[in-house]
Structure formats: structure tokens, C-alpha cells
Structure 1
Amino acid sequence: MPHLSLYHNPKSRSASARVLLEALGVPYDVQTIDFANGQNRTPEFLAINPLGKLPTLVHDDAVITEQVAITIYLADRFPSAGLAPAIDAPLRGPYLRWLAFYAACFEPALMDHAFQRAPLDPATSPYRDYDTVIETLVAQLSRGDYLLGDTLTAADLLWGTGLRWTTEFGIVPRLPVILAYIERVSAHPAVIRAGELDAALAEAMAPPAAD
């Protein structure tokens, strides 16, 4: 089987990639990136990802960056896990829609909200505004247990992980429908297993306590 390496920090966006890898049940190794030591800015890492960002996945000679690209790539590359609708399935389009919505609308809108930026003119903004993005998400989550209804997909593992930390930081409102969704996704064995692995990794990375 081709070799998978995840460049990872447990307190970064790469947490969602680790969750997905655990859900797929494929062997992979973790290349830990310590931000405190500037490992994301070394020439070696910048040669792999010039932005110095996580997650970064290396699959043999292929380098895949960006959360959504990694999600699409892995779920399609290992289809036996059943985490992505087939290309010719009716739900393939909605599945891609919500993955694209995460990167193209949700995250930019969060940054606007977090830094208290004034909304752009709706005629020029590719995601309209923060309130509309949240309303659109809430409307979709109100239609079923998961983004595509009753079946959890790789898109839910991405969204569930992202919503968990954004609600914890108060960037996304702690609405009942959002919290219930987070709880459902967080109950997945892969989410629990990845959380345990990352807790142990975070502890190992922590600087020693001062005497």
C-alpha cells in the first residue's frame, strides 16, 4: 500500500485529517510539527508546503494540502470505508457542495466575524456575510442527523471537528442544532480514537514543567 504521512499538530486544523485517517482505517504515520519551535517555517517543511500550514499530507510522491482537498482525496482514494458518495451517486453533488462551502464560505466568514470586519457588499462577496453563512448551515443541519441526511460522510468528520473548536472559542453560536450535530459526530469511534491519540501527542509535546 502507498505510504501516507500526515504533517500534524494536535492543536491545528490537521486534527480533522487525523480523524478521517482513523475512520478510513488505513496505516499512516505522523510527522509532528511543533509551532513553538518554528518547525512549520523550516526550509525542509516549506519545500513541501510553501505556506507553512497544516494539514499537509504526503502520499508517496504526491503532496496534498488544504483541509477540503485532503478530505476529498482520502475519502475517494479509500472508497471501501464508504465515507464519500460515488462520483455517479445522486448525493455526490451535495457532498461536494458542503465541502466547498466549508472552505469558500464558512472559514472566510469566521475570520470576518472573529476580527470584527464589516461585511462586504453582497454583490461582491463570494460568501455574502457571516450571518447568512451560519443561517444556511443551521438550515441544512435541521434537515437530518448529518449534512446529507441519515448517513455520516467524510464531510461530517470535517464539519464536526471544525464546529467543535469554533463553538468552544465562541466564533460560532452554541445553538442547539449545532451542538447536537457536534455530539453525534463526536460519538464516532474514529473521532474518539483520534482525540485520545492527539491528547497523548499534545502531552508529549508540552514543555517540561519548571522546577
Structure 2
Amino acid sequence: MYKLFYYPRNASWAPHLVLAEMGVEFELILVDRKTNQQKSAEYLALNPTGRIPTLAHHDLVIFESAAICLYLCDKHPESGLIPGATSPLRATFYQWLFYLNSTIQPELMVYFYPQKHTAGESTKEISLAQELRVTEMFSLVDKALEGKDFLVGDSITVCDYFLFMLCHWASDFSHPPLDFKNLGAYLRKLAMRDVVKSVCKREGTDLAIYT
């Protein structure tokens, strides 16, 4: 059985959604950030980065959300959450997953933790600049979603759950993702999926903003 070490609405959210979408058996293990459990010796023995999430599967331990999702796709190709290896959509899938994981997500982390990135600027100035930067990135995604139900191809993939997670994190922006025409409609449709509802109920996440 898979064991996912998680905390609600953290970067473990995408792997949690992927596991639920695949319909495989898994155990959720709460890592309490309120008590800095992710920095405990026990957790660091599993994940030396001291961050969430971590996936344990038999003797294998993996950290980093995107890596966990790709591993799960490799183990369960029948899920269709990644295009086939010979499909031209495979490259598009990688493009968007890397953009979400290595471009948008790090910029969001600067927005949420400006105190780690100040070099004379106020934390407020950094957060405002980052909000504008990330909003521009969401604008690019909004254009890519025109006339589409999913980010890659005609069915849901890991990219959609990754994007849903990042967009939810940005819900408090002055121009949040839900305010974009295409992106907003897309997010509302995703929020209606049974998998999203069940995972959010389990994590205690309110989906009222999408109705």
C-alpha cells in the first residue's frame, strides 16, 4: 500500500488527488506543520528536505510532488493520467507539468514567504511584485485553456490536479484565478468532480468559492 505523508492544502494535495483518481489503496499520514513535525528526526529520516509531501511504497521513499505523481503514473499507466509515451501530447504534458512545478510554484513560494527573499525590500513589496508576476503566469494558462476542458488533451491528467492546487493557493489574490474567463470556468468544473469533492472533504477543504 502507498503511504502519503501530507498536510491539508500543502504540496501533498496534488498527489492525494492523483491517488484518489487512480482508485488505488493508500494510507494518509498527517505531518502536523503546526508543531513543525516535518522537521522532526523521525520525518527527516524519511525526507531529509524537511518538506511535505513524502510517498512511501514498500522500501522506496520519494519526495517532491511532481516526482511522486510521475512515479504513480508509471506504476498505473491504465489510469490515463499521463499521455502515452508515443503520443505527441506527452511532450505537452511535460511542458505544462514543468511549468507548473518549476515556474509557477516557486514564484508562489516567494509570495507566501517573502521574508526569506528580502534584500532591502519590504516583505509587502516582494509579495505585491510576486502577485503580479504569478497573475501574468495564470493569464498565460488562461489563454491555453480557451475552448478546452483540460490542460492537456481531452481527458484529465496530473497537470490538471497540479494546476488546481496552485490556483487554490492563489485564491486571495486581488485578481484570483477564478476571475479569469477560461481558467475560472475550468476550475469550477474541476471542483465538481467526485474525486475533488471526496479529497477536499477528507482534508477539510471548503470548495464554496467554486460554486
TM over 0.5: yes
Matched residue, 1:199: 204
Q: Is the 8 A contact 1:7 1:56 kept in 2?
A: yes
Q: Which moved more, 1:96-105 or 1:146-155?
A: 146-155
- Structure 1 segment 37-186 matched on structure 2, within 5 A: 37-113=35-111, 115=114, 116-117=125-126, 130=134, 132-168=136-172, 172-173=176-177, 174-186=179-191
Q: Is the 8 A contact 1:141 1:177 kept in 2?
A: yes
1:187 correspondence with 2:202: no
The one-letter code of the counterpart of 1:187 is M
| Partners of 1:103 and 1:26 in 2: CA distance | 24
- Give the CA deviation at 1:162: 2.0
| Partners of 1:162 and 1:156 in 2: CA distance | 10
Alignment deviations for residues 177-206 of structure 1 (CA, whole Å, 9 cap, x no partner): 222111111222211111111129xxxxxx
Q: Tell me the secondary structure at the aligned position of residue 94 of structure 2.
A: helix
The percent of aligned pairs where both chains have the same amino acid is 28
**Selected match of 1:25 from 7, 23, 26:** 23
CA RMSD of aligned residues (A): 2.4
Q: Is the 8 A contact 1:98 1:155 kept in 2?
A: yes
- Give the CA deviation at 1:136: 2.1
The one-letter code of the counterpart of 1:4 is Y
- Give the CA deviation at 1:113: 4.9
The one-letter code of the counterpart of 1:43 is A
Matched residue, 1:15: 13
Which structure has the higher relative contact order (CA within 8 Å, separation 6+)?
A: 1
Q: Is the 8 A contact 1:6 1:29 kept in 2?
A: yes
Cα–Cα, structure 1 residues 23 and 43, in superposed 2: closer, same or farther, change >3 Å?
same
Alignment deviations for residues 17-63 of structure 1 (CA, whole Å, 9 cap, x no partner): 11111100000111111112221111010111112111111111111
Aligned length: 190
Gapped regions of structure 1 (runs ≥ 5): 120-128, 201-211
Whichever structure has more helix as a proportion of its residues is: 2
TM-score (norm 2): 0.80
Gapped regions of structure 2 (runs ≥ 5): 115-124, 206-211
The one-letter code of the counterpart of 1:180 is A
The one-letter code of the counterpart of 2:164 is G
Runs of 4+ in 1 over 3 A off after TM superposition: 111-119, 129-132, 168-173
The one-letter code of the counterpart of 2:41 is P
